Amino acid sequence: MTGRLAGKIALITGVGGGMGAVAASMFCAEGARVVGCDLSADGAAATEAAVRAEGGEITCMGGVDLGDADAARAWVDAAVATYEGIDVLYNNASAQRFGAIDELSVEEWDFTMRNELSLVYYTVRAAWPHLKAHGGGSIVNVGSIAALRGVEFMPQNAHSTAKGGVISLTLQLVVEGGPHGIRANCISPGLVETPNTAPMLADPPERMRKVVLDRLPLGRHGQAADVVNAAIFLASDESSWVSGTNLVVDGGGSVLG
């Protein structure tokens, strides 16, 4: 690693497993001091122990429900106080429900909006005064290519809508944050292997193989590090004149529609 985030304080949500755990490790390896959170106390503790064993400087807080505005603010305030500042807010955490439009329940819709869109708003709103006081910083939100196109192999009505909201919110943050030195960008991943998707990718349904995997120009599905590498760039000073981009990380798949 090259120390691209040396000296930076990064708040990362959803570090208890999957992409968030990889992000915590890679951000620390690049020199950042990380404060992470997760709904799972066990997951947060495991990530903290693993990253510290690698030599990273990290504090993780478990049992944090970012879908509750008061809980999100309490975590952000505590996280900023941990290392006395904030340079980066990486909104990685999410949870969703899938279903066809005539099968997805109202409760499942509301769950997805709460845990994919509202929690991003809550954390950004809580971090905003800290970022202004700090003289600016970088907000990195996670969208999805599902927000940019219809998805053929799985009905994603709520997920697509919520992630579309994340992208739109990011654009408004650019305008409001610019005068304060706050940059905001989004990453929209394609199909990435995580603990949740690994079983499906190991034995993919035929329709998913035909309409997704066999049509990826780069010939493979994504890994968590592919997405986190993009986040590191957007968090670093290398992207100091980048604000308002939606960086698609999908192996070229969305080019084919």
Query: pLDDT for 157-216, tens place per residue?
Result: 999 999 999 999 999 999 999 999 999 999 999 888 887 777 777 777 776 676 677 778
Task: Tell me: pLDDT of 88 over 70.
Answer: yes
How large is the average pLDDT for residues 238-255?
A: 95
d(CA 141, CA 42): 24
8 A C-beta contact, residue 232 and residue 27: yes
Number of neighbouring beta carbons within 10 Å of residue 237: 11
Q: pLDDT-based confidence at 154, cuts 50/70/90?
A: confident
Number of neighbouring beta carbons within 10 Å of residue 98: 15
Q: pLDDT-based confidence at 146, cuts 50/70/90?
A: confident
pTM more than 0.75 = yes
